[in-house]
Structure formats: C-alpha cells, structure tokens
Amino acid sequence: MRMSRFLGGIAAIAVLAAAPIGLMATPLGVTQAQAQEASASFNLFFGELRPHGVWVKHAKYRYVFCPRVDADWRPYTNGRWIYLRDRGWYFDSREPFAWAVYHYGRWTHERRLGWCWVPGNHWAPAWVSWRRSDDHVGWAPLRPERDGFQIDISVNVGEPPEDDWVFIPTRRFVEPQLS
C-alpha cells in the first residue's frame, strides 16, 4: 500500500514538473491569440498583487490595481514576446505582477492614477491589439469592455486610443528584453 502511494506521488510530481517544459518546447507558427479556459478569482488577484501596488476603488470598474512602477511605465513593455503555437503571442515578463496583469483582465489609463489593471477571469497570452508594417510592429493594451470586474470574453471593435500604442522596429520585436 505504501509503495502504491509513493509511486502515485512520484507520478503526480512528474506530471506537474513536465507541464512547463511542454510550454517551452512549443514550436513557433502563425495563429491568432485566443483566450483559454483557465479562470481565476478576484480574491486571488487582490491578495497576491497587494505587495506590488495599490488597489483603488473605481467608480466604473469597482476596483483597479495600479502597480508600483515609474511614472513613464507602460504595460507590455518590460519583457518580451514569445510565440506559442495554438495560443499566439505571449507576453513574458519578470515583473512580480506579470503573471496576472498581462494574462487576465484589461488595462485603463486614468489621468490621476496612470495605468491601472481591471481584473478579469479568463486567461489569454496577452490582451492587446496589433498593428504591423514592413518595418515596425505595434501593440496597445485592450481597454475593458464594460463596467465592473470582467467575467467574460467580449470582442472589441474599437481601436485603442492613439497614445496607448507602442511601436518598435520589427527586427527588435522578439529581443529578450524590450525596454
């Protein structure tokens, strides 16, 4: 009986350890970024992000998270883009709040607060809009679709505001560090 439990524990550890390796080994290709089935709760975000910024009560979105960053900071600039087959362009960042703010929810830019994140419960490799020319690529954080905590996926047909866009030369797009 002990041997059976031991072997079961070893098998579970092996499966959990192999999951990130499968993601890293995913070959690159061309596909549209898609929201995934993974979901998260507001309470998880609230507790885990608190050391890295401030939660502000917001009239339109209930609560927003404003990361503790430099005044000229912008979302989706401190990291790199990695292409994941069947998922699309994934934003990879070492910022302590990156796991949540770049993959769940949307961003809003408030005059008095700066960039603030509106939590959502659906995962995506990045919540951005894209533009591309022969020699430049650009992206802008998607704004929230509606008031309150984002609990579903909606399609936005409007363009992000002009000031939200970041453009870089195409040759720099997949560099290890954008900023």
Please state the domain count of the chain.
Answer: 1
Residues 131-156 pLDDT 10s:
999 999 999 999 997 544 444 444 45
Q: Is residue 143 part of a domain?
A: yes
Within 8 A by CB and 6+ apart from 174, the residues are: 80, 81, 82, 83
**Would you state the structure tokens that stand for residue 170, as one six-digit string?**
């195409």
Q: Is residue 113 part of a domain?
A: yes
Q: Residue 121: which pLDDT band, with cuts at 50, 70 and 90?
A: confident
Residues 39-79 pLDDT 10s:
567 788 999 999 999 999 999 999 999 999 999 999 999 99
Q: Is residue 74 part of a domain?
A: yes
**Would you state the structure tokens that stand for residue 63, as one six-digit string?**
């609560």
Q: What are phi and psi of 17, to 5 degrees?
A: -70, -30
Domain of 162, in residue numbers: 28-172
Percent of the chain with pLDDT over 90: 61
Report pTM.
0.72
Q: Is residue 162 part of a domain?
A: yes
Contact of 138 with 173, CB cutoff 8 Å:
no
